[in-house]
Chain A
Amino acid sequence: MIEDKVRLEFMGDQALLLRLEDDVSVETGEALDKLLSLRAALAREMRGVDGIEDITLGYRSIAIYVRLEDVSPGDLLARARRAIGSARDARASLPQAARVTLPVVYGGAYGPDLDEVAQRAGLAPEDVIRLHQRAVYRVAMIGFSPGFAYLIGLPDVLRVPRRQTPRARVEQGSVGIAGFQTGVYSFATPGGWQIIGRTPVRLFDVRRQPASLLAPGDEVRFQAIAEEEYDARWGAYT
């Protein structure tokens, strides 16, 4: 049952947070399955309610951003509880996930931390590339910057801590690793993840619909490409 695993709390007077208990695993995707079911139920329950601004996912939580001058806290809580009660705790009940393959140039100037990751993992750089490509990832949440997808599903052996000193600038498209997570920098920003490659695909383009290439629940694969191909595909949106 999902109900036994969710707690409700307000984030100041701006949002209601549904938080899964600590024993629900983020890394295996258990939390994501529950959150996707909960989000679907919340969307049904909140449809047409004035004052609901947005519903977003964290790794083990969902925030409902709300204008509490338009909807009462009591009404909001009642709807959230109904949604929790009606959420189906089964991956089978979720809509088919979108599948996206991101081309990546691994190593070299595009992946300056590939050798360090290999060293820490006790692998050859080619093995890191092979293992990173072979896995199927799921988008757990979008955050940090527009379109930045936090991916779960990284092989255990590739789990390395983030860099001691974050970089002042990580280039757009950089593919990084931090602990159990992997992801793609959707914009050039400061960042502390270990960078093993770069994709020419744009994860966020405000002039496209939808603006974010990825959404929670989507399946992502990486595919190695040669450096020459990077330039040819730069800015693509797959």
Chain B
Amino acid sequence: MRDGARTHEPSVARVRVLAPGLFTTVQDEGRPSHRHIGVPLGGALDQLAYRAANRLAGNRGDAAVLEVTGAGPRLAFEAPAALAICGADFAVHVDGEPLPTQRPVWLAEGAVLEIRQVRRGFRAYLAIRGGFAGDALLGSRSAIPRYGLGEKLAPGDDLVYVPGPPNPPAGFRAVGPRAAVAPFQVGGWLDQVEDEMAVVRVVRGEQADWFDGEAWRAFLERTWQVGPQSDRMGLRLRGEPLAAPSRQLASEPVVPGSIQVPPDGLPIVLMRECQTTGGYPKVATVISADLDKLAQLRPGSQLRFVEVSLEEAIRLRRVHHRLARAWLRFVGERARRAWGDSEGGD
């Protein structure tokens, strides 16, 4: 990220990090093929919001973005920028003016973008046209600071990007002197953020049989709360503990969504940045169609689990994949029209 050496080139510009926010990192799809050497999948926790942010910024593929958590950064742009913020609903301001999100945004040279407190959900994605420049490690830009894979944003960091168009595209509405936004926003995806009680679908886990029927019913019937120690590795749940099995498990591979029950009986829902193996028994596995939803839960959020069959989980995965692809294509076409890009297709 500290990539100042390249900024003398005329075709690149810098974003200066004035304040880093609670926990802001560069993310993309993660590293699905390095788990055999112990590297977590990682990547943007809400993959759909990450992809939508890229489409809205005018990117055809998925470029590296900033993942913003809870309270976002303050960023100064030294050149015009084409970008989008998509995901959780944050209070965003440009030069003090409230800026609507979930849509294409144009910033002028010198604009200061401030992503303040989150109002709904927990994580949002700031995508910029052309992506933030930097080197991929093991095929990905996704930061995992504890393993030396990138750092979280720090004050004074510079992010390098390709400047956006010098003027706002036709049809954009001015927001203060140095920003303009497209006249549409993407709807729908924030509907998955259930404010009162998130309902998360699961299939039985690899060690579900180790729990007695009582514990399984309790797992499904109880209301759980996301604990304060939760992070990109896992959601530590609070509630009435389950009776944990006493049997020892030889460490084995896990997946994001695996729900481990350590001896204290309080479930841990593994997230995309989880370890690749684990030795706690797993009571259930969140279906992949609901993983993005988990990314929008914050400490204090309530959730409960509903069982579906494996066949249903696989069917839902395929449906989710198809719908997401179609929706992203639609968002991408709409955004490219708004940016005034002539080329079609995706």
Contacts and interface: CB of A to CB of B under 8 A. Distances in A.
A202 B147 CA distance: 12
Contacts of A73: 314
Contacts of A210: 37
Nearest to A181: B251
A9 interface: yes
Interface in B76-118: none
A17 interface: yes
Nearest to B285: A12
B310 A13 contact: yes
Interface residues of A, number: 44
A69 B321 contact: yes
Interface in A128-156: 141-148, 150
A83 to B, nearest CB: 16
A68 interface: yes
B211 to A, nearest CB: 16
A86 to B, nearest CB: 21
Given A12-B258, A17-B252, A69-B317, A186 B38 contact: yes
Given A59-B250, A187-B147, A206-B148, A12 B38 contact: no
B206 interface: yes
Q: Is the interface of B mostly helix, strand, loop or mixed?
A: mixed
Given A141-B277, A206-B148, A15 B255 contact: yes
A145 B258 CA distance: 17
A206 B257 contact: no
Nearest to B278: A143
A12 B288 contact: yes
Contacts of B287: 12-13
Interface in A3-19: 9-15, 17, 19
B207 to A, nearest CB: 11
Contacts of B310: 10, 12-13
A12 B251 contact: no
Contacts of A186: 38
Nearest to B282: A11
24 contacts: A10-B310, A11-B206, A11-B254, A12-B286, A12-B310, A13-B203, A13-B317, A14-B285, A17-B252, A54-B35, A58-B252, A59-B250, A63-B255, A68-B314, A68-B318, A69-B318, A69-B322, A141-B277, A144-B275, A150-B251, A187-B146, A206-B137, A211-B138, A215-B37
